[in-house]
């Protein structure tokens, strides 16, 4: 019993994604609130303090639930990177944004595979999803407030074709090929 037919074995290989050129081609990850809950326990990298266009002022950090992949590779489906602007010690005052590697051909004309998020921190310090999708800042100043098109908002900076080579990651310390312990 429990012997796998060749077809079932093939299906497992496809689901597991081993061996293919793009291991995540068939996988999809829909991030839920619980997936962000522990982000403050993930490795934290200081990514900048110099003013960034369309961003609130303050020291910026990134938290990642995976180390950077090897140069030339993309982050795997299921990766979450959280970008914070930490204006004070109180997380409720922070601006919190995130990208999750959703896969499945999502955001095909921008930061391929990545879904964008705007998060808020509850009084208990729990991150909650305030907006998600291709342009979660619609109606907010961050990322531009203009017409919602594929290339408005987060994709304006993260979704350029030139960014394909770095999996649309803009922090040098988190790009594919960067050391995981900067």
How far, in Å, CA of 103 to CA of 93, rounded? 31
Q: How far is the CB of 150 from ligand HEC (least distance, A)?
A: 13
CB of 114 closer than 8 Å to CB of 158:
yes
How far, in Å, CA of 94 to CA of 34, rounded? 19
Q: How far is the CB of 21 from ligand HEC (least distance, A)?
A: 24
Residue with Cβ nearer ligand HEC (25 or 42): 42
Residue with Cβ nearer ligand HEC (31 or 169): 169
Q: Where on the chain is the footprint of ligand HEC (CB under 6 A)? A: 47-48, 52-54, 60, 62, 81, 83, 97-99, 116-118, 136-137, 142-143, 153-154, 156-158, 169-171, 174
Would you state the torsion angle of the CA atoms of residues 181, 17, 35, 63, taken in this order, to the nearest 10 degrees? 20
Q: How far is the CB of 53 from ligand HEC (least distance, A)?
A: 4
Q: To which residue do tokens 């988190």 refer?
A: 174
Residue with Cβ nearer ligand HEC (10 or 57): 57
Residue with Cβ nearer ligand HEC (27 or 175): 175
Q: To which residue do tokens 């291709």 refer?
A: 134
How far, in Å, CA of 111 to CA of 157, rounded? 9
Q: How far is the CB of 96 from ligand HEC (least distance, A)?
A: 9
Q: To which residue do tokens 């080579």 refer?
A: 165
């Amino acid at each position: 019993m429990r012997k796998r037919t060749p077809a079932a074995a093939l299906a497992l290989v496809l689901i597991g994604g081993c061996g293919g050129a793009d291991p995540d081609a068939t996988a999809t990850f829909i991030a839920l609130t619980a997936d962000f809950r522990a982000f403050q326990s993930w490795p934290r990298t200081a990514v900048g303090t110099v003013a960034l266009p369309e961003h609130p002022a303050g020291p910026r950090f990134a938290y990642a639930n995976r180390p950077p992949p090897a140069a030339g590779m993309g982050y795997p489906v299921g990766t979450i990177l959280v970008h914070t602007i930490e204006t004070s010690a109180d997380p409720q005052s922070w601006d919190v944004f995130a990208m999750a590697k959703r896969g499945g051909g999502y955001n095909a004309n921008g930061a391929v595979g990545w879904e964008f998020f705007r998060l808020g921190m509850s009084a208990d310090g729990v991150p909650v999803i305030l907006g998600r999708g291709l342009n979660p800042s619609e109606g907010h100043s961050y990322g531009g407030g203009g017409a919602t098109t594929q290339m408005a908002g987060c994709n304006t900076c993260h979704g350029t074709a030139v960014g394909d080579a770095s999996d649309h990651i803009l922090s040098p310390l988190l790009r594919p090929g960067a050391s995981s312990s900067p």
